[in-house]
Amino acid sequence: MKYTDKILEGFFLKRYKRFFVDVIMDGKIVTTYCPNTGSLKGMLNENAKVLVAKVDNPKAKLKYRLEAIRHNGVYVGVNTSLPNGIVYEAINQKKILNHLKGEIKKEVKYGKNSRVDIFIDSMKGKNCFIEVKSVTLSRVKGLAEFPDAKTTRGSKHLIELGEMSKQGHDCYLVYLIQRKDIEIFSIAKDIDEEYYENSIIAKKNGVKFIAFTCEVSKQGIDVKKQIQINEN
C-alpha cells in the first residue's frame, strides 16, 4: 500500500494526551496527530527518526500525522487505520490467503453489534471472517507481541470469531506486524492474560491465527512474509 499523502522525515520529541506527538522537523517543533491508541511500548524514544504525513485536508485540525517510528534500525508503522486496507489489498492481489474464494467486503456487521474487518462471501453458505490486528511491540530481538496494552475489544473479537467458527465459517485472526525485523510472533500473556486465555479458546473453536511482517518505507507499507506463531 502506497502512502497517498506527502511523507516527511523528522525526530520524535514527546507524546502527550494519547493523540498528540511533538516532532522536530527542519529545526522546528511540530505537533502531529498520533493515529494509535496503544501504548507504543518501547517505541517512544527521544530523537528517534519518524515519518510524518502532511495532511492534504483543509478541515483537519492538525496538518501532520505520525506514520512510522524508527526502532532497532527499522521503520515501524504506527498508523492503526492502515492495516485493514493493507490486508485487503494483499488478499485482492493474491499475495496472501490466495486459497480464499469469493467477493471481498470491508466492515461487515456480525455477531453482537460488531463489524468484522474483512468478509469474504463464498456464495455457498460457508463464509470467511477476517479480523486484523496491528502489531508494533518487540521487546526481544526478532519477536513481535500483541497486545501492547490491555484490550477488552480484542477479547470481544476473539469470542465472536470463535462463535462464527463454531457455526461452520472460516475465521482468521491476522496479526499484521508493521516492521520487517521479526521472525516469530507471540501473544503477550504478561500484558493481557484475559486476551491470552481467549486466544486459546478461539483456537480450540477453530479460529486460525496467522502473522505477517511488513516492509515500511517512505513510499508505503507492503506485506513481506508469513512468520511462525509461538503456540505457548
Q: Residue 198 belongs to what domain range?
A: 83-229
Kindly report the CATH number assigned to the domain that includes residue 40.
2.40.50.580
Residues 125 and 163 in one domain: yes
**Which DSSP symbol is given to 38?**
S
Q: Which residues make beta-bridge pairs with 140? A: 143
Cα–Cα distance measured from residue 62 to residue 22, given in angstroms and rounded to the nearest whole number? 12
User: Which ranges constitute the DSSP H helices of the chain?
Assistant: 83-92, 152-166, 193-204
**Which DSSP symbol is given to 178?**
S
User: Does residue 78 lie in a domain region?
Assistant: no
Residues 126 and 58 in one domain: no
User: Does residue 77 lie in a domain region?
Assistant: no
Q: Which three cell numbers stand for residue 172?
A: 482468521
Cα–Cα distance measured from residue 64 to residue 39, given in angstroms and rounded to the nearest whole number? 20
Residues 89 and 66 in one domain: no
Residues 204 and 137 in one domain: yes
Give CA angle at 232 (210, 132), nearest 5°: 25
Cα–Cα distance measured from residue 111 to residue 134, given in angstroms and rounded to the nearest whole number? 21
Q: Which pLDDT value is given to residue 232?
A: 64
Residues 94 and 134 in one domain: yes
Question: Strand 28-33 relative to strand 20-25: parallel, antiparallel, unpaired?
Answer: antiparallel
Q: Contact at 8 Å (CB) between 13 and 22?
A: yes
Residues 116 and 168 in one domain: yes
Q: Which pLDDT value is given to residue 151?
A: 95
Using 70 as the pLDDT threshold, list the residues of the chain that sit under it: 123, 232
Q: Which residue has the cell 518505507?
A: 217
**Which DSSP symbol is given to 9?**
E
**Which DSSP symbol is given to 4?**
S
Residues in the chain: 232
Kindly report the CATH number assigned to the domain that includes residue 100.
3.40.1350.60
Count CB neighbours of 180 within 10 A. 17
88: left (phi over 0), alpha (psi -120 to 50) or beta: alpha
Q: Which pLDDT value is given to residue 173?
A: 98
Residues 45 and 146 in one domain: no
Residues 42 and 135 in one domain: no
State which of 25, 40, 72 marks the end of a domain. Answer: 72
Q: Which pLDDT value is given to residue 231?
A: 80
Cα–Cα distance measured from residue 184 to residue 133, given in angstroms and rounded to the nearest whole number? 16
Cα–Cα distance measured from residue 20 to residue 181, given in angstroms and rounded to the nearest whole number? 27
